[in-house]
Structure 1
């Protein structure tokens, strides 16, 4: 797209310049043929440099075309860091997160990745932290001080049960409170919930319960706050509970449905490296936005370079400026 397309009318002038050049060449040739003595003509006329003598004017015309396009204000989409957004990390701290199918354990790997995410998240984005097991705990209200989240992540402790819906509802409440402080939902910065869990919701039994995960996801959809879910772990994970080995396979299906119902994205990760890659992708989606802006600089640089090359070519080939 162009912001000032009318400048392209100058291309007509460039075309006229090219036509005038061809016309002047023909006129010069006709005048030269009026000499009766061709031997005398060869002695007074400069040596024929062939087609190479037209190179300077060709470069000049290209330069003028490029500079005309620059004047017309070409636009381009580019990614720029967000200066305002809200992200709430919602982390599962149920006992199943103690499984060691992810080294050194699911919870330790999740903590490591969450701190790395906080470190690399674009400055200016408000980051909050919710943990949930049988209930949800609001550990850090959204703040641009990402170090606060890193400190809180290190203090996470495991507990019984998994109340995924409560975690999402708590995150929605955090975002609503921040938006109220910022002046209401009108003009509020974009928000995203990032939910990391490894298992199926156990409290309540039905995810469609008023406090269930699916109900919370639908509420997030209503408030236009997508929930990106990360299913972390493997299907072979186990934990030791009261001396018994209990299988704790990841539950991709429910986490995928939460993401779909809320309008978010679903990810899987079976190792710390995979989890870091997921967070990197989320950082790219959340931390940057696409804006359309002026893209005339490359055209201006190219046009200027062609003009300079044209001038040097004219001096070297024709011993004069075009």
Structure 2
């Protein structure tokens, strides 16, 4: 167990201080009784000695103080939290060819808009991860239910050189490894889908075929959205360079993994991506504040203290 406000634990010094104070009071009470030599008169005027009952009530009060001091320090502990494992990996091409404006306003901007609309449409319990790729591929946002974090990362995408489509698939599969395991079936991968938004042409890194083979082994369908036309072009070092869309490669990726391919104009149909994904629950270990739990312990002890004082001593403390 740890504490969010450990500096407040000094209040626990009140516990030994109260114990010492109580012992001093008992010693002085005993000393006064010994000084009162007329024991017959003392037995008449003094109330019946409550004995151990008085000590029980005092001990409970001191325990209550200790519990309240601990609660005030905001304790936290590690707990197992259930988490839905169903995951969608949104993988976006940020290669220079995505700067082409044959899709309004540009291929990249259209892909960003489509990705954000898709993320917003997903069921809240699903995890979403974001992968971007150009010459290399990176996991920008690991699987999470925080839609705002994914949308911010999509808005922040920047163009870079080359297109490593095969690496993008491998990196998307790596992102799935960050989803918590199902304790009842630890070897079973999380139910998942990859949505690949690209203009299709690979020119660096591992081959698309190797990536597709890995996705098939993992049984993860790759839905593709092709952005561009056969007539797209971009200006590179002052020269206009053709960058036609490779719809055939995008279609082959989808077909080989048991998914579907789309164009930018038809991506509204993407609900099909998650309609049959299924559900699986895993558990993650998280730090969770348990101040209310310790406050409850203190309240319960205070109630027992009051009851003990009332029924054993005839008065409230």
TM over 0.5: yes
TM-fit CA distance, 1:261: 2.3
Quote the offset at 1:231 in angstroms: 1.3
TM-superposed deviation, 1:284: 4.5
In the superposition, relative to structure 1, how do residues 167 and 110 fare at CA in structure 2: closer, same or farther (>3 Å)?
Answer: same
Equivalent position to 1:212, from 207, 218, 236: 207
Matched, 1:227 2:222: yes
How far 1:182 sits from its partner (Å)? 6.8
> 1:248, CA displacement in angstroms?
0.8
Q: What SS class does the counterpart of residue 177 from structure 1 fall into? A: coil
Cα 1:257–1:276, aligned 2, differ >3 Å: closer, same or farther? closer
Residue of 250, 263, 267 corresponding to 2:262: 267
Assess if the C-alpha contact under 8 Å between 2:85 and 2:180 holds in 1: no
Contact 1:230 1:268 in 2 (8 A): yes
1:88–1:171 contact (8 Å) kept in structure 2: yes
Alignment correspondent of 1:258 = 253
- Cα contact 1:122–1:287 (8 A) shared by 2: no
Q: How many correspondences in the alignment? A: 198
In structure 1, the residue matched to 2:111 is: 110
Answer yes or no: is the 8 Å Cα contact 1:214–1:257 preserved in 2: no
- TM-score, scaled to structure 2: 0.58
CA-to-partner distance for each residue in 1:171-229, whole Å, 9 max, x for gaps? 1011123144877654544101111110310014xxxxxx2111111111011111111
Provide the C-alpha distance between the structure 2 equivalents of 1:182 and 1:250, rounded to a whole number of angstroms. Answer: 44
Moved more, 258-267 or 135-144: 258-267
- Corresponding position of 1:312: none
Matched residue, 1:73: none
Residue of structure 1 in register with 2:10 after alignment: none
CA RMSD of aligned residues (A): 2.5
**In structure 2, C-alpha distance between the alignment counterparts of 1:151 and 1:287, rounded to whole Å:** 27
Distance (Å, rounded) in 2 between the aligned partners of 1:225 and 1:157: 27
Distance 1:235 1:253 in 2: 12
Moved more, 187-196 or 234-243: 187-196
Does the aligned pair in 1 maintain the 2:231–2:243 contact within 8 Å?
Answer: yes
Q: How does 1:34-49 map to 2 (within 5 A)?
A: none
Residue aligned with 1:149, SS: helix
Partner of 1:122: 123
Describe the SS at the equivalent of 2:101: coil
The answer on 1:277 being equivalent to 2:278 is no
Deviates more, 1:109-118 or 1:255-264: 255-264
* In structure 2, C-alpha distance between the alignment counterparts of 1:170 and 1:156, rounded to whole Å: 17
Partner of 1:16: none
| Shift in CA distance, 123/110, structure 1 to aligned 2, threshold 3 Å | same
Relative to the length of structure 1, the TM-score reads 0.57
Cα 1:147–1:234 change in 2 (3 A) is same
Ranges in structure 1 where 5+ consecutive residues have no aligned partner: 1-82, 205-210, 289-322
Secondary structure of the 2:88 match is strand
Note closer, same or farther for the CA distance 1:251–1:155 as it changes in structure 2 (3 Å cut). same
Q: Secondary structure at the match of 2:179?
A: helix
Paired with 1:287 and 1:249, the residues of 2 have a C-alpha distance of 37
Q: 1:165 to 1:179 in 2, by over 3 A?
A: farther
Asked if 1:198 corresponds to 2:199, the answer is yes
1:278 Cα deviation after fit: 3.8
- CA shift in 2, pair 1:177/1:84, >3 Å: closer
| Shift in Å, 1:276 | 4.2
